């Protein structure tokens, strides 16, 4: 125990002169001194001094942020390249997408690149790729349009409710919500909607209304709306009044009126009072024009 105590004091440089003399005469003194002398070569560098915790944490967080930024930086470059690429794509490749439209209460007639003629009804639009027109005659329709197609390659009218395919003919396509109707006036028209595929001859009509399909005939030689008249055959009043709103740019409200009843008839597109009378009188309804663009439809009360 005495030897151990002397060794501890020697290591801590706490020995008295007497204790040093006793300790130096011990048999293992030379070994201990040799260990201490060699250990001097392993002193910690001044550059490795420990820092306080807050300084260490701040340094660590800063390095982490720099490493994270170094990792994200290449991704930001890639994202920028992709953004520019997409911009160029839509600028270069979509500049040939042509759109034609008719606003509410308007109609418009124009020619396609092959001189096919299109008349758009109110609140309708089509678009097509003019760059590929010579190899693919195809238009996308939203609303109602009357087509006089020049003879040539297959001509497709694509709508959300179905597709119409022709070569050279005259036909009308109407697509409004759950209302899809195609009327052939000349030539032959192929119509497909889901599993219902039909080939129409002149004077035949293909209709899907509220998921119910019917096919019937007409004696008309062209759509009546092109002559400022809107015609209907067994159509719910709701759809009839929606068409009236498109033609006159008005808002219609109902009071005690059953708009699910079916209407057959015609209204004119150039006189609002005559149009309202044509619809309401045969259905035992009345109307009130409260402002230039507000109409109230009254039903019969008990």
Domain co-membership, 103 together with 215: yes
Predicted pLDDT at 10:
57
Q: Is the pLDDT of residue 43 over 90?
A: no
Residue-wise pLDDT for 104-119, tens only, equals 999 999 999 999 999 9
Going by pLDDT thresholds of 50, 70 and 90, the confidence category of residue 53 is very low
The contacts of residue 171 (CB under 8 Å, 6+ apart) are 146, 147, 149, 164, 182, 183, 184, 185, 186, 187, 189, 200
Domain co-membership, 146 together with 210: yes
Q: How many domains does the chain have?
A: 4
Show the beta-strand stretches assigned E in the chain.
Answer: 97-102, 108-111, 117-120, 124-129, 137-148, 155-158, 163-166, 170-176, 179-186, 188-193, 196-201, 204-209, 212-217, 229-236, 251-255, 262-268, 286-291, 294-298
Q: How many residues does the chain have?
A: 302
Domain co-membership, 221 together with 246: no
Q: Which of the pair, 301 or 268, is modelled with greater confidence?
A: 268
Pick the last residue of a domain from 92, 118, 153: 92
Predicted pLDDT at 54:
54
Pick the last residue of a domain from 225, 256, 271: 225
Residue-wise pLDDT for 238-293, tens only, equals 999 999 999 999 999 999 999 999 999 999 999 999 999 999 999 999 999 988 88
Domain co-membership, 119 together with 20: no
Residue-wise pLDDT for 215-241, tens only, equals 999 999 999 999 999 999 999 999 999
Pick the last residue of a domain from 225, 244, 273: 225
Domain co-membership, 201 together with 166: yes
* CATH code of the domain covering residue 122: 2.60.120.1440
Domain co-membership, 13 together with 82: no
Which residues form the domain of 156? Answer: 97-225
């Amino acid at each position: 125990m005495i030897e151990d105590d002397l060794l501890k004091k020697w290591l801590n440089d706490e020995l008295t002169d007497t204790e040093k003399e006793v300790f130096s005469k011990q048999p293992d003194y030379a070994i201990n001194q040799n260990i201490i002398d060699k250990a001097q070569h392993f002193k910690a560098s001044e550059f490795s001094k420990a820092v306080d915790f807050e300084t260490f944490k701040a340094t660590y967080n800063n390095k982490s942020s720099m490493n994270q930024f170094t990792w994200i930086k290449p991704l930001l470059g890639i994202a920028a390249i992709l953004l520019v690429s997409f911009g160029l794509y839509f600028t270069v490749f979509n500049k040939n997408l042509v759109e034609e439209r008719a606003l509410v209460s308007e109609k418009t007639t124009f020619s396609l690149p092959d001189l096919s003629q299109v008349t758009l009804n109110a609140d309708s639009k089509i678009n097509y790729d003019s760059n590929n027109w010579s190899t693919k005659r195809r238009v996308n329709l939203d609303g109602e349009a009357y087509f006089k197609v020049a003879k040539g390659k297959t001509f497709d009218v694509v709508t959300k409710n179905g597709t119409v395919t022709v070569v050279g003919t005259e036909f009308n396509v109407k697509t409004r919500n759950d209302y899809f109707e195609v009327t052939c006036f000349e030539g032959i028209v192929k119509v497909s909607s889901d599993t219902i595929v039909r080939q129409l001859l002149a004077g035949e009509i293909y209709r899907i209304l509220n998921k119910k399909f019917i096919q019937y005939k007409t004696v008309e030689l062209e759509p009546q709306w092109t002559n400022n008249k809107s015609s209907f055959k067994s159509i719910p009043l709701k759809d009839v009044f929606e068409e009236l709103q498109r033609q006159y740019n008005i808002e219609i409200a109902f009071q005690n009126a059953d708009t699910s009843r079916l209407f057959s008839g015609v209204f004119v597109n150039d006189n609002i009072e005559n149009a309202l009378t044509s619809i309401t009188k045969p259905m035992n309804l009345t109307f009130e024009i409260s402002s230039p663009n507000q109409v109230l439809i009254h039903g019969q009360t008990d």
